[in-house]
Amino acid sequence: MSREKILIKTSWISTIGNAVLSASKIVIGLWAGSLAVLGDGIDSATDVVISIVMIFTARVISRPPSKKYVFGYEKAEGIATKILSLVIFYAGVQMLLSAIGSIFSNETKEIPSSIAIYVTLFSIAGKLLLASYQYKQGKKINSSLLTANAVNMRNDVVISSGVLLGLIFTFIFKLPILDSITGLIISLFIIKSSVNIFIDSNVELMDGVKDVNVYNKIFKAVEQVPSAGNPHRVRSRMIGNLYLITLDIEVDPKITITQAHEIADSVEKSIKGSIDNVYDILVHVEPAGKCQTDERFGIDKGMVE
Query: Tell me, what's the pLDDT at 111?
Result: 63
Query: Tell me, what's the pLDDT at 217?
Result: 93
Q: Please say whether the beta carbons of 210 and 245 come within 8 A.
A: no
- Predicted confidence band at 218 (pLDDT cuts at 50, 70, 90)? very high
Query: Tell me, what's the pLDDT at 109?
Result: 56
Residue type for position 79? I
Out of 49-63, 143-157, 262-276, the most confident range is: 262-276
Query: Tell me, what's the pLDDT at 220?
Result: 93
**DSSP codes, 100-146:** HHHHT--SPP-PPPTHHHHHHHHHHHHHHHHHHHHHHHHHHHT-HHH
Residue count (the chain): 305
Angle, helices 144-173 vs 177-205, to 10°: value is: 170
Domains and CATH numbers, the chain: 3-206 (1.20.1510), 212-303 (3.30.70.1350)
Query: Tell me, what's the pLDDT at 293?
Result: 61
Average pLDDT for the chain: 83
**Average pLDDT in the 242-267 region?**
93
Q: Please say whether the beta carbons of 92 and 163 come within 8 A.
A: no
Contacts (Cβ under 8 Å, ≥6 apart) of 76: 57, 60, 61
d(CA 59, CA 8): 8
Query: Tell me, what's the pLDDT at 272?
Result: 93
- Predicted confidence band at 205 (pLDDT cuts at 50, 70, 90)? confident
Sign of the torsion angle spanned by Cα atoms 59, 65, 66, 70: positive
d(CA 89, CA 86): 5
pLDDT (tens digit, 9 = 90+) per residue, 219-235?
Answer: 999 999 989 988 999 99
pTM of the model: 0.66
- Predicted confidence band at 21 (pLDDT cuts at 50, 70, 90)? confident
> What does residue 279 show for φ and ψ, rounded to 5 degrees?
-90, -45
d(CA 89, CA 193): 8
Strands (E), the chain: 229-239, 242-251, 278-287
259 pLDDT more than 90: yes
d(CA 3, CA 141): 6
pLDDT (tens digit, 9 = 90+) per residue, 76-126?
Answer: 878 888 888 888 888 788 878 877 887 787 765 556 677 888 888 888 899
Contacts (Cβ under 8 Å, ≥6 apart) of 193: 88, 92, 151, 152, 155
> What does residue 248 show for φ and ψ, rounded to 5 degrees?
-110, 145
**3 state SS for 142-187:** CCHHHHHHHHHHHHHHHHHHHHHHHHHHHHHHCCCHHHHHHHHHHH
d(CA 215, CA 212): 6
**Average pLDDT in the 193-217 region?**
86
Q: Which residue has the higher pLDDT, 277 or 236?
A: 236
**Average pLDDT in the 3-8 region?**
79
Sign of the torsion angle spanned by Cα atoms 57, 62, 66, 69: positive
Out of 33-37, 100-104, 127-131, 204-208, the most confident range is: 127-131
Query: Tell me, what's the pLDDT at 192?
Result: 86
Portion of the chain with pLDDT greater than 70, in percent: 93
For the ranges 36-40, 85-89, 237-241, 301-305, which has the lowest average pLDDT? 301-305
How far is CA 180 from each of CA 96, 165, 211, rounded to the nearest angstrom?
10, 12, 41
For the ranges 194-208, 219-233, 246-260, which has the lowest average pLDDT? 194-208
pLDDT (tens digit, 9 = 90+) per residue, 143-185?
Answer: 777 887 787 788 778 778 877 877 777 777 777 777 778 778 8
d(CA 4, CA 156): 26
252 pLDDT more than 70: yes
- Predicted confidence band at 294 (pLDDT cuts at 50, 70, 90)? low
